[in-house]
Amino acid sequence: MKRILKLVGLIIAGLVCLAAAGAGYLAVRKPAMAPASDIQVAMTPERIARGKYIFELSDCDGCHSGRDFSRFGGPVIVSQRGQGVKFPKEMGLPGRISSRNITMDRETGIGNWKDGEKIRAIREGISRDGRQLFPMMPYGRFREMSDEDVYSLVAFLNTLAPVKHKVEPSQVDFPVSLLMKSAAQPSGHVTEPNRGDKLANGRYLVKLAGCAECHTPTEKYKPKPGMLFAGGERFALPGRVVVSANITPDLQSGIGRWSEEYFLDRFQQYREYVEKGSPESGLESFTVMPWLLFSQLPADDLRAIYAFLRTTKPVYHAVDSHPDAKLITKR
């Protein structure tokens, strides 16, 4: 018996040593990175226009701009566009998480960054100083952004008016600070999608728009298996909560009964809010879905997104998008 206990003790000690060694390796390990390219993006009108489209499709405002969430859709506060945001504790993030100032201010923004450094940050998650960005910056999916589109996005960023606004860098809690190191990967060369292929283009647009990230429920920061696009992810801001909708083609709980034209109308109906200003928003209409931006997408792109979503696996998952509003109503 003593021999067995001694053997068990040696095994446990060995496992502890291995765990400690693994933690030590993660602590000193640097994220995978490649040197920033020395490219200087040509500032053509076509690229700037395309870059503005990519900026809005990818909802860069959603994380990098001041928003007025007292109004429907949280319209951007123009004077705070791109200035960076400290995310509230209600979001349940692992630490003090902030987005950086991406305006062309030289002191607090990215005005001194080279174009290659911007490209590396967008697609690979590596800051100018070599630090890894918290993966709330979606470089995991932006890794699939084509070379031409990332050049266009940088061209548009180079036109953003400088806003002097210092944002404290993120401080990510342990162990997420170690585990996230595997998120950064060099992107290499990425070709243009075949925009003539409706499904391929739809997949590309859905990827850049982050539809899966918002509409897939997570547990401990990981997507729940079998629940892709099934909704149920909770988004909280001070005093406001919304739960993402099921956008799988399930007939009962998703968008399976939606026609293509109905899908388009769900977006395009908000164009009036863009033109005239969106109304005040209560708990029952609070949303983080970028309806205002997406209402401006070309109809053909919305059709491509619809076509791709129709190919995803139907998942029955009934979602209550505004649970807090209904609780207050019942009181």
Q: What confidence tens digit (pLDDT) does each residue in 293-331 have?
A: 999 999 999 999 999 999 999 999 999 999 887 654 444
H helix intervals, 102-232: 115-124, 139-142, 147-157, 176-179, 198-209, 211-215
User: Residue 272: is its pLDDT beyond 70?
Assistant: yes
Looking at residue 218, its pLDDT comes to 95
Task: Tell whether the model's pLDDT for residue 18 goes beyond 60.
Answer: no
8 Å CB contact between 270 and 285: no
CA distances from 67 to 61, 83, 185, 210, 216 (A): 8, 11, 31, 19, 24
Identify the pLDDT of residue 29: 62
Segment 257-264 mean pLDDT: 98
At residue 28, the pLDDT reads 54
Q: Is the pLDDT of residue 7 over 80?
A: no
Which whole number is the average pLDDT over 18-25? 42
The band of 234, judged by pLDDT with boundaries at 50, 70 and 90, is very high
- What pLDDT score was predicted for residue 121? 97
pLDDT at 151: 98
Tell me the per-residue pLDDT of 160-209, one tens digit each, with 9 for 90 and over: 999 999 999 999 999 999 999 989 989 889 999 999 999 999 999 999 99
The tokens describing 200, both together, are 């391929």
113: Cβ contacts below 8 Å, ≥ 6 apart: 121, 128
**Angle, CA of 204, 208 and 211, to the nearest 5°:** 95
Q: What's the average model confidence in pLDDT over 61-66?
A: 97
Domains of the chain listed by start with CATH number: 36-192 (1.10.760), 194-331 (no CATH)
Report yes or no on whether pTM surpasses 0.85.
yes
Confidence at residue 327, expressed as pLDDT on a 0 to 100 scale? 55
Does the pLDDT value for residue 23 go beyond 70? no
22: confidence class by pLDDT, cuts 50, 70, 90:
very low
pLDDT for position 32: 82
**1 pLDDT more than 80:** no
Long-range CB contact pairs, 131-138, < 8 A, 24+:
131/169, 132/31, 132/180, 132/181, 132/183, 132/184, 133/170, 133/184, 134/97, 134/170, 134/172, 134/180, 135/180, 135/183, 136/63, 136/87, 136/93, 136/97, 136/99, 137/63, 137/99, 138/58, 138/210, 138/213
Tell me the per-residue pLDDT of 25-55, one tens digit each, with 9 for 90 and over.
445 567 888 999 999 999 999 999 999 999 9
Contacts of 305 (CB under 8 A, 6+ apart): 202, 205, 206, 209, 211
Taking only the tens place, the pLDDT of each residue in 153-162 is: 999 999 999 9
Structure-model confidence comparison of residues 220 and 149, the more confident one: 149
